[in-house]
Amino acid sequence: MFYVEYLSKANYHRSYGSAEILPSIVITALPGSGAELIGWLFYNNPDVAYVQLPSSVVKMPRAPKFRLNTFADACLWTYEDLAKHPQMRTWIQLLRQNLPTFVSDAILDEPDEGVLKQSDVIYKEYTTQDLHEHIVKYPNAQTVLHFTSGSWGLKLPWLHGILGNNLRAIHVVRDPRSWIATFLRDNMDLYKKLNVQEEVDRMFEQADDDCIPNGRYAEEYDKLRERLHELKSAPPHLLLAWLWSSNTQAVLRTVTSLPESNSRLVRFEDLVSNGENTANLVYKFIGFPLPPTMTHQLLQATNSDIYKIEYEGVISQTTVTRWQQDLAEHQIGDIEEVCGQLMEKLGYTQMGPWRFKSEADDAMSKETQ
């Protein structure tokens, strides 16, 4: 089992009041990383109330000069940006302090829509109604904020400025081969649904307007930007590989900028394959006792074949290795060539060396011609 801990190397310390204030739990990940699975570590726990943002429960507010790419972006938000988005800051503070109001409004507006998508098959799921009943029964439960846009990984310093040293940020990472296979599966259904190529174009347009002028651009995206023209005509797995690499490098830098014990990386594969140990480590990090029922929920979700999560479908023990059947050998080689160093850092074993020239090699050779 691999559990990554990136502790702060920062030289500053701030005081946010009493150490008795309960932790503010935040979850971030790239879409398609399987982070929704971590919800089964929190659903029905009297100590917490888990909510995805945005969702049928809570919509994103409209705020002046606020732009957030729904897939991922290259803009860092730091402590110095707290004054720039006061409405967003107030919204997050209200979510932490008064979630029942948001959920009550959601019940009135959309009484039949669940947190997870409905299906013709009856799967285990946690609905808006379940959440409403939970917070009525446990009104003092601490809100777990799961930001579903991949942009929020680069906003953790800003969130730390709002939530203080009680922030407990969990960023879920996934093997890039598995992540990319999810997008390419079923005739590239998720790739098309999330408009990946258009979102990447929009990401750099936003960077030009919003973050490059004020020095908030994540330079880890430079390699992707330099290759973007060629990648548009290349197989989609190459664009996805460079996107995963750029985002993951930027998030690692962001995580290590936070004060000690404020952030952790958790691998999706560990949630699936080593749920009990991962559950213990997550709860130890956030500082709550781990109810046995939470461990049982997670183990059920990954072993019973009746739990679905968004983008992935049914979760089982074979989920973490399915990419080996879904991807061609040359695709695996390309992904490992682009992402190999980060994979090693995160504990993912590569399958190379490869017997023939990869498409990544071809793309690079075209650049030099």
Alpha helix positions (H), 287-328:
292-303, 323-326
Under 8 Å CB-to-CB from 91, ≥6 apart: which residues? 61, 63
pLDDT recorded at residue 113: 43
Q: Do residues 275 and 304 make contact, with C-beta atoms less than 8 angstroms apart?
A: no
- Decide if 335 is inside a domain: no
- Decide if 220 is inside a domain: no
Q: Indicate if the alpha-carbon torsion angle 162, 164, 167, 173 is positive or negative.
A: positive
pLDDT recorded at residue 159: 96
Q: Do residues 49 and 200 make contact, with C-beta atoms less than 8 angstroms apart?
A: no
Indicate the residue type of 56: S
Residue 29 in 3-state DSSP? strand
Phi, then psi, of 148 in degrees rounded to 5: -85, -15
Q: Closest Cα to residue 294, out of 285, 305, 282?
A: 282
Residue 27 in 3-state DSSP? strand
Q: What is the pLDDT along the chain (369 residues), one digit of tens a residue?
A: 433 333 333 322 233 333 346 899 999 999 999 999 999 999 999 999 999 998 878 888 887 778 888 899 999 999 888 888 888 999 999 998 888 888 766 555 554 444 444 445 567 888 888 998 999 899 889 899 999 999 999 999 999 999 999 999 999 999 999 999 999 999 999 999 999 999 999 999 999 998 999 899 999 999 999 999 999 999 999 999 999 999 999 999 999 899 878 999 999 999 999 999 999 999 999 999 999 999 999 999 999 998 989 899 899 999 999 999 999 999 999 999 999 999 999 999 999 764 334 445 555 555 444
Can you give 66-95 as a three-state secondary structure string? CCCCCCCCCECCCHHHHHHCHHHHHHHHHH
- Decide if 240 is inside a domain: no
- Decide if 112 is inside a domain: yes
- Decide if 209 is inside a domain: no
pLDDT recorded at residue 353: 66
- Decide if 232 is inside a domain: no
CA distance 337 to 323: 16
CA distance 160 to 169: 9
Indicate the residue type of 46: P
The CATH number of whichever domain residue 256 belongs to comes to 3.40.50
CA distance 283 to 159: 20
pLDDT recorded at residue 208: 95
Indicate the residue type of 213: P
Q: What is the pLDDT of residues 27-38, one digit of tens each?
A: 999 999 999 999
From residue 293, alpha-carbon distances to 245, 276, 297 in Å are 36, 11, 6
Q: What is the DSSP letter of 1?
A: -
Phi, then psi, of 18 in degrees rounded to 5: -65, 135
Taking the model in full, what pTM does it have? 0.87
Q: How many residues does the chain have?
A: 369
CA distance 282 to 168: 10
Q: Do residues 298 and 279 make contact, with C-beta atoms less than 8 angstroms apart?
A: yes
Q: Do residues 330 and 241 make contact, with C-beta atoms less than 8 angstroms apart?
A: no
- Decide if 150 is inside a domain: yes
pLDDT recorded at residue 163: 94
pLDDT recorded at residue 4: 39
pLDDT recorded at residue 139: 87
Q: What is the pLDDT of residues 133-191, one digit of tens each?
A: 999 899 889 899 999 999 999 999 999 999 999 999 999 999 999 999 999 999 999 99
Domain count, the chain: 1
CA distance 268 to 207: 29
From residue 39, alpha-carbon distances to 126, 138, 303, 328 in Å are 9, 17, 16, 32
CA distance 363 to 367: 7
- Decide if 179 is inside a domain: no
Residue 217 in 3-state DSSP? strand
CA distance 216 to 239: 23
CA distance 166 to 142: 12
CA atoms within 13 A on the CB side of 198: 6
Number of Cβ within a 10 Å radius of residue 68: 18
Tell me the residue range of the domain where 136 lies. 24-174+249-329
pLDDT recorded at residue 2: 38
